[in-house]
Structure 1
Amino acid sequence: MDLMEYKAKELFGEYGIPLQKGFLAGKQEELIRGLDPMEQVPAGMRYPVVLKAQVPVGGRGKAGGIRFASDREEAQKQGEAVFGMTIKGHPVKRILVLEKANFTREMYLAVTLDRGGRCPEILFCSEGGVDIEETARTKPESILRTPVDPRIGIREYNARYLSDKAGLTGEMGKEFKGVLSRLYEVFCAYDCMLAEINPLVVTAEGHLLAADGKITVDDNALKRQEAILTYRDEQEEDPQIRKARHYGFLYIPCEPDGTVAVMSNGSGMIMSCIDLITKAGMQVGAALDLGGGATADRIAQAVELMLAETRTQALLISIFGGITRCDEVAAGIRKALAKAPERRTQLVVRIEGTRKEAGMEILSSLAGRVRTADSILEGV
């Protein structure tokens, strides 16, 4: 689960990572009130300020979702414009207002999970504010990687190695060690897959500052992360996602203009279906992962959920029946269609595995609304 910048910075602040002064506004009135010198929170914020749209996608800057203002009047005007934006299908409902950082240098610092090494790993680049994936592809030698023994944590030599490479000496080197240690604490405390500061800047006064941040939390650990669960529930996310989560499914929104939906049991199968559909010149609007062991009732819930998407003209269901039996899949489809006789969405079903013959017999009775396929390719 990816956290928006304001939440990532909130967690950074709890652990003492240095941040700009700022506040979060959920509507224009809150933004205006926060900019009032008499009510300003935090006190002493200075212009110029930066207004950053809070949306769960990247590319805010290119979309015009990050703006600067040199005084209160301009900030109010820019805030009104940003609140009226939709970025990659996400309406802007929150703006983070911050003092504009006056810096002389940008760097990249992150703690991530090295699956191959089975341990946390520090990533550092002397160039910040960049797409780190693109940098890793074009200039891999510029990224320093340091494994961390989870039994020990950050040691003096971890920080010294990176600060020496970056040319951060004296007090700046000590500050760097503090930021790195606190970032690692955040990574561990919140079961992160990634805790990233990009950019980590050197201010004109000679101090370090986390100018932007990103945190990805392991979905499997959410049950023990009450603060993150509360944050998730506060988000105005897609109601389909909430409904799918309630039933124990994984719902994935895809292309806003997509008219084809995909339902399967397993991420690999879903990705294969999406690739083939896209290659055939169509767009996938949404996908749903059933997981394993789905009964007829759960299949029916999943199909109903996908048919509720009004833009969906076709639904491809591809199931490999191991724990999930093919006759249960077919029975669930029949049950869902019985509840939605008016929907004319074309269903294409491919089932393979346990009790396939019994499942195909049930599907044959739905010939008017369901087409069967022997392979994903045929289904597409």
Structure 2
Amino acid sequence: MPVPKAMLDPMLGSFRGMMQEVEAKGLSGPPVEAMRAALGRMEALGQEHHDLSAFQGQVMQEDLFASFSDAYGKALAAAARPASAEGGGGGGAGEASDPAAEDAQLLENTLAAYEQALAQHRGTEQEALFAPALEKVIALGRSGVSYPVFLRRLEEEGLSDALNAPVATREALAAEVRFACDAHDPPRLEEALEQLDAYDGLVGESRFGAPDPLAIELTRRRIAHAHAPRRARWQAIERRGERILDDLDRWVDAFTDFAFYDERWRAPGASDAQVRENIQRDQECQPGYLRVREELLRESFGIDFHGIFQAPPMTNLHVAHRIALSDAKIAVLVDAWPSCVPGGRPPAELVARAEALRQSGEHVRATLGQKATLPVPERARAGA
């Protein structure tokens, strides 16, 4: 699974634009091929990695951003030499071979590329992410320093890290928070918020808001590992709680008059004898199954049948309109639970209530499937 396009395009857009510019000018030679190779490698890594931090870490490890920029400057400098020679005669050729003049041209070409990138991001959602670092780099280059000094100070002052910063990471983490809210998933929201806050902490501790990709990845894994048990517990209680309710509902309904025509027992092509056998099996076997499931739930999570309805995973399902049974039908099941023992049967009054609910259609929750979301924290809202 590749890095999402919404994250990859802002990072590689400037480099793609430079490549298109060079190709439009008809330039060729080793520098252009080096540009093409570096960009191709970045594009390939974007398809290989699904995690943005891992992608950025490998790009930085292979120094692809710097390699591309250096090749771009050399390509433009090489294109400028013939023009200088034609315009200034022999002296122009001599100037083109002057190392100081060539460095000045490389610096100018590099700054022009950064200025072009800055202009592309003006007025876009990415401006706040890219502009500060680009403005600092351009200001340094225009301060009168030589090209070697410019490159050295980029490293010393952390500006190269700022240019290579995982700028899209925060938006991805904030989007995960919003997704958890939209899914009404409290454990996922708790983890996503901790991931977002941890990232913001790393940004605050780093120079120019460019945290180390390795630190980001290690922090992400540590938080995910810490939250894994709670998420697993939450999901297990959901599954087991819903299964107990469904099976208890099946047991009660097996004693109703409509059971003979219900698809739970009347499979396509089943004979009447097979239907009666299916009904009898649930009447006799479900109590034993249910008592074992309750015991396992108690051993694993300290929750008995009545505790299901107070367990946060189940109350969350209720608030999110994901429990299919109506409250009225659940009340019937709660009243029937004491009778749900091997050899037992629900009281006739409860069977009659179940039949009445089925006939009126009130056995199903009226709000089932309605959208319910958790509030999105301010720090995770789009554009925050």
Instruction: Give TM-score, length-normalised by structure 2.
Output: 0.23
Q: Larger Cα Rg: Structure 1 or Structure 2? A: 2
Which has more strand, going by share of residues? 1
Instruction: Give TM-score, length-normalised by structure 1.
Output: 0.23
